[in-house]
Each structure stands twice: as structure tokens, then as C-alpha cells.
A = this chain, B = another copy of it.
Amino acid sequence: MTDFTATRAMFHMPEDVIYLDGNSLGPLPRAAMERMQGTLRDEWGEMLITGWNRAGWMAQPRDIGDRIARLIGAEAGQVVLGDTLSIKVYQALAAALELRPDRRVILTDSGNFPSDLYMAEGLIRTLDRGHELRIVAPEEVAGAITDEVAVTLITEVDYRTGRLHDMADVTARAHAAGALTVWDLAHSAGALPVDVAGAGADFAVGCTYKYLNGGPGAPAFIYVAPRHAETAFPALSGWLGHDAPFAFEPAYRPGAGIERMRVGTPPVLAMAALEAATDVWDGVDMDDLRARSIELSEMFIKGVEAACPMLTLASPRDPAQRGSQVSFRFEEGYAAMQALIARGVIGDFRAPDIMRFGFTPLYISEAEVETAIRIVTDVMQNRLWDLPEHRTRHAVT
């Protein structure tokens, strides 16, 4: 049984804060402080250039990939870290389209994160070969997988509603239609059990600063199914994806397997924090995590719905169809979220009217969820959001 009191103690949490936004940015793992200091002082500071060998900097993207692999149902050697999620989407999509040269449709849904859509648009424009980004409603994806589709580009858990796609079902349908799949695990990895191998996913990409607590802007990851790993060609063919980066050959030769999905020099400092964050997962069973996440989310929905009829549940009511977040619609959601944040309940807002609350068992307890319900109730019943100061928009919402 996973010890969530122990994992909670591994994080730094500010006083008087109930943090229900780990789905946007995970909190600071205490070990990251010390690890980073060591990387600065003992590695960069003392080893200088020799740190690439002596401190293992060059192997980090693969080593951390091996550890994240377990959380998404992949095996060692199938995941590598680097760049941002947007870049990894581009890589996966470009490789998938090249594997389906006779097809022109990228199928996605309107619940996908906009950057995935934008990167697809940019790729389509670059290819200039008549590809189409076909955007359907989330519940229409299954029916829209026709033999025109080259690849599906789906985020498993909807960033606004928390709606969960059935990865195995969509993938099976895609394969039956001769299409490939790119899964975005931004809101899945570390949030619920994921099984890319079991589902037969072709490519998967994800981010490490949400449920994986790697720090703001932490590197992304990419998974390539072993059956494609030696044929998927990297459009972003950087030197660290070369078979022999330090031979400095004039022509590109893709590295073995997942290695070819590396691009430029890895961000060593960011990797240090992420590595420390990855340690937290060592004693965590994903089924325990999922059960606990559902308990906390159900408690929150029940409490909020009982007291706040002005909030409309935007997430699926069936917990089996949700990720690890709960969203409510409220017209004045922006102001309401600001009022909550001012009172120590940190969630976030997504336009036009979504209030999001993430439930992350690694560091959130039942007692906190109860307090959060009380504060939400107070803010909503007493219209505490209805102040000019809460309506002032910040750059980042």
C-alpha cells in the first residue's frame, strides 16, 4: 500500500495553502533543492566541461526516460526526455505522417490542448502537401476514424474538463483503419495508470511539470513504440539524435531507437530538478494513486455540488471517465478563482468559464479537500468573488 503521508513529506508546501493546481504545476520536491545545489556546485562548478562524462549529464535524458517509462507502461529504452511538449508533438506527428505517406488527415478533438493543434498547423503548413487537421468533438473521435486518417493526435485527459479518452479503444480503432496514434499524456502521466504498450499506442508525448513535479518548464518526454523505433525518422534531426554525435560527421544518421528523438544539448539544470522529482515515485503504486485520486475528487464534487448550485460540473460525473481533475463552469469563474486563491485555495481558470481543481494524492489529504470545500462554499454563497480586485486579469491565467 502506497504511503501517501510519506510522499506528502517529500514536498515543500507553503503555509496556509491548499494546492489544487498540481495539474498545472507540481510543487517543489524537497530533494530538488539539494540536488540542484549539488549540480551547480559539485558538477557544473567543479567538473566544468568534464561533467558531461563524469556527472553523467549526457545520459540523463535516457536515464530519466527509463524511470518515467514505468509510469506510462513502457519499458526502459523507449522514452527519452528533452525540449518542450510542443516540440515533442511536432516530432511525433512528423514521424507518424511520414509512416503514412498516402494519407492526409490528422484527426484531433476540440478538447485537445491548443498548442498541439498549433504545432500540427505549423507542420501542415511546412509540409504543404494538402494535409488537413480535422477537429471533431471529443465524443465523436471514435466515429471519425476513417481510412483517410493518417494519425490521431489526442490528449488522453482533456485539459479543461478532465474527460478521459479510452486509449486502448481509440488506438484499436485507429489501427483497424490503418492509422497511427500520437497520445499526449500531459494530464495522464503521474495522474493515473497509463499503459502505452498495452493500448498499442504508436507514439506518446508528455510533460513533466504537472503531475511529475519536475519544476516550471521542465523537459518533455517522448515514447516511440518499439515497432516504429528504428523506422520513425526525426524531422528535427539534431546532433544528439545522431548515431555518433561526437564523430561530427557532415551527414545525419539517426541514432538507435529512441535516441534519435533527442535533438540538441540537454538542459542539465532542469534535468537535475526533474531527477529529484522522479525519486518521489519509487514507492508509489499507480493503482493506489488512482483509487485515492477518485476518493478525493468524489468528495470534492459531492461537497461543492451540495452547497454551490451556481457551479455546474464540467467534468464527467463517472470517475472512470475522468482524469485527476475536477472542473466546474461558472460565468464569473475568473473572479471566483482569484477569490479562492486569495483565501489559499489554489486552482486555476481556463477560458471561457472553467474553474479547475486538481487532486494529487502525493501531497493532498482528505482534510485539505474538506477545508477547500468549506472555502469554496463561503466564496460562492457569499459572492466574495464580486470585487474589482478579483476581476483584474493577469498575464497568465
Chain A contact residues, CB within 8 Å of chain B: 12, 14, 17, 19, 21, 24-25, 27-28, 32-33, 36-37, 40-41, 44-46, 48-53, 57-59, 83-87, 90, 94, 110, 113-115, 117-119, 121-123, 125-129, 135, 207, 209, 215-220, 233-242, 246-252, 263-271, 273, 341, 346, 348, 350-351, 394-397
| Contact between chains at A264 and B85 (CB < 8 Å) | yes
| Complexed CA–CA distance, A220 and B114 (Å) | 24
Closest chain B CB from A87 CB (angstroms): 6
- 20 extra interface residue pairs, beta carbon distance < 8 Å, beyond A14-B45, A59-B395, A246-B395: A25-B48, A83-B83, A83-B87, A84-B238, A85-B264, A85-B265, A86-B263, A114-B250, A115-B240, A118-B237, A118-B238, A119-B238, A126-B126, A126-B127, A128-B129, A207-B265, A217-B264, A217-B268, A219-B267, A246-B397
User: Which residues on the B side are within 8 Å of A250 (C-beta)?
Assistant: 110, 114, 117, 135
User: Which residues on the B side are within 8 Å of A395 (C-beta)?
Assistant: 52-53, 58-59, 246
| Contact between chains at A87 and B217 (CB < 8 Å) | no
Q: What are 9 contact pairs spanning A and B, CB under 8 A?
A: A14-B48, A25-B52, A28-B40, A28-B45, A87-B238, A118-B239, A118-B251, A119-B237, A122-B238
Closest chain B CB from A55 CB (angstroms): 9
| Complexed CA–CA distance, A123 and B351 (Å) | 35
